[in-house]
Amino acid sequence: MSDAYLLSDELKKEIDHWVAKFPIDRKLSAVIPAMNMVQDLEQHVSEPMMDAIADYLGVPRIAVYEVGTFYTMYDLKPRGKHRIDVCTNVSCMLRGSDEIMGHLKNRLGVDVGETSKDDMFALRSVECLGSCGTAPMMQIGKDYHENLTPKKVDEILDKLKGEA
């Protein structure tokens, strides 16, 4: 059974656009752009959506799960409005990511991998985000926040709270 119908026509058109950029037998190459689009649109990529992408592209479903689980930029379940990914890899760790993480946990009242009760903030630790020169850092949504201090973290969170 194909689940491709879950994709909107607009999305399908976008996917076609990407498919056209690769050789005909390299449909797998379009998985990442398709996943990006769904993530942007729905703030997560559910299992049915991964199946839909696989079926639409005619690639094995497991191949899409592999991509989805490999990259931290895809959330496979809804996680909350602001998804905070704190880098805890070597450079950030040496520059104090433990302190940043501890501060976030205190302030939000959640543990790593959890979401605050009001669904506003989700906290997670991730591997190097390629911003070692400005460590410690975290990513919230699409934005990088660099050279963090607990104070800076507070300001960022206050601002996000204010927006909501």
Partner 1 sequence: MNDTTITIDGKEVAAEQGEMVIEVADRENIRIPRFCYHKNLSIAANCRMCLVEVEKAPKPLPACATPITDGMVVKTRSPIALQAQKAVMEFLLINHPLDCPVCDQGGECELQDISMGYGEDVSRYNQGKRSVADQDVGPLIETFMTRCIHCTRCVRFGDEISGMRELGLVNRGEKSQITTYVEKNIESELSGNIIDICPVGALTNKPFRFKARTWEMKQHATIAPHDCVGSNLMMHERRNEVMRVVPAENEAINETWIADRDRYSHFALYTPDRVTQPMIKVNDTWQTVDWATALEHTVAGLQTVIHKHGEKAVGALASQSETVENYYMFQYFLRSLGINNIDHRLQQQDFSDQSAFPAYPHMGTTFEKIEESDAVVLIGSHTRKEQPMLWHRLHKASQNGAKMFAVNPVDFNLIFAFEKNIVPESGDLVAGLTQLLEHIPEGLQSATKPVILLGALAMNHPQAATLRSLAQKLADKIGATLGLVTSGSNSAGAWLTGVVPHRLPGKQAASNEGQDAQAMLQDQKQAYVLLNVEPEFDCANTGQALQAMNNAEFVLAVNTFTTDDMLQYANVILPAAPFNEISGHMINAQGDCQQFNAAIPPKGESRPAWKIFRILAQLCQIDEIAKFMTIADVFEAAQQHIAEPEAAKWTADSKNTAPRGTIRIAEMPIYAIDPIVRRAKPLQETHDATKVQGAHINKATASGLQVNTGDAVIVSQNDNEITLSVVINDCLADNTVYIAQGLAEHKTLGAAYAPIEIKRA
Under the rule (CB under 8 A), what is the footprint of partner 1?
Answer: 47, 60-63, 65-66, 69-70, 127
Q: Is 73 exposed, middle or buried (0-12, 13-18, 19+ CB in 10 A)?
A: middle
d(CA 142, CA 135): 17
Q: Does 32 bind ligand FES (CB under 6 A)?
A: no
| # of chain residues touching ligand FES (CB under 6 A) | 12
With CB under 5 to 8 Å by kind, the binding choice for 36 among ligand FES, partner 1, none is: none
Strand ranges across the sheet with 82-87: 121-126, 82-87, 138-140, 143-145
Q: Is 163 exposed, middle or buried (0-12, 13-18, 19+ CB in 10 A)?
A: exposed
With CB under 5 to 8 Å by kind, the binding choice for 11 among ligand FES, partner 1, none is: none
Q: Closest approach of Cβ 132 to ligand FES, in Å? A: 4
- Cα 150 to Cα 70, 100, 114, 120, 132: the distances in Å are 30, 6, 20, 19, 18
* Beta bridge pairs of residue 144: 139
The pair of structure tokens assigned to 153 is 């973290």
The pattern of x and - marking residues 59 through 98 that bind ligand FES according to CB under 6 A reads: ----------------------------x-xxxx------
Q: Closest approach of Cβ 59 to partner 1, in Å? A: 8
Q: Nearer Cβ to ligand FES, position 27 or 83?
A: 83
Q: Nearer Cβ to partner 1, position 2 or 147?
A: 2
Q: Closest approach of Cβ 147 to ligand FES, in Å? A: 11
Q: Nearest-CA neighbor of 31 among 65, 2, 76? A: 65
Which parts of this chain interact with ligand FES (CB under 6 A)?
A: 87, 89-92, 128-132, 135, 137
